[in-house]
């Protein structure tokens, strides 16, 4: 019987690990897909007009992971939409990463 519980626990643990957004994955995606415009540190390049700096305190306070996810998925003006290029999970991990800058 205890073996059965051990198995359940292992399955649960594996599920939690795979479901948890991975901050490091977000950083990798950010550097690969976003830093061209938004800069390595989150300070936008001059041509990415209209984008705030992601390390700005006021922006951090005013912005939620959910609102970042929305802009990234749908795009806005010159910001491209990523809903067909990244999975929902990848969009979430990159949004979580932005909140750590």
Q: Considering the rule CB under 6 A, would residue 71 count as an interface residue with ligand HEC?
A: yes
- The answer to whether 50 contacts ligand HEC (rule: CB under 6 A) is yes
Rule CB under 6 A: is residue 93 a binding residue for ligand HEC?
Answer: no
Tell me how far apart the alpha carbons of residues 86 and 69 are, in angstroms, rounded to a whole number: 11
Among the listed residues 38, 92, 93, 96, the single contact to ligand HEC using CB under 6 A: 38
52 binds ligand HEC (CB under 6 A): yes
H-state helical runs in the chain: 2-19, 23-29, 35-38, 57-62, 65-74, 88-98
Q: Half-sphere exposure (CA, 13 Å, Cβ side) for 50?
A: 7
> Taking the CB of residue 55, how many other CB atoms lie within 10 A of it?
14
Which residue in 28, 43, 48, 101 binds ligand HEC (CB under 6 A)?
Answer: 48
Q: Which residues bind ligand HEC (CB under 6 A)?
A: 33-34, 36-38, 48-52, 63, 68, 71-72, 76-80, 82, 94, 98
């Amino acid at each position: 019987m205890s073996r059965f519980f051990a198995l359940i626990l292992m399955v649960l643990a594996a599920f939690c690990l795979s479901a948890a957004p991975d901050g490091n994955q977000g950083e990798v995606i950010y550097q690969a897909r976003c830093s061209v415009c938004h800069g390595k540190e989150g300070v936008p390049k001059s041509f990415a007009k209209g984008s705030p700096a992601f390390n700005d305190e006021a922006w951090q306070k005013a912005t939620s992971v959910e609102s970042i996810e929305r802009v990234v998925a749908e795009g806005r003006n010159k910001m491209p939409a990523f809903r067909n290029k990244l999975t929902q999970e990848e969009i979430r991990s990159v949004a979580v990463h932005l909140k750590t800058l």
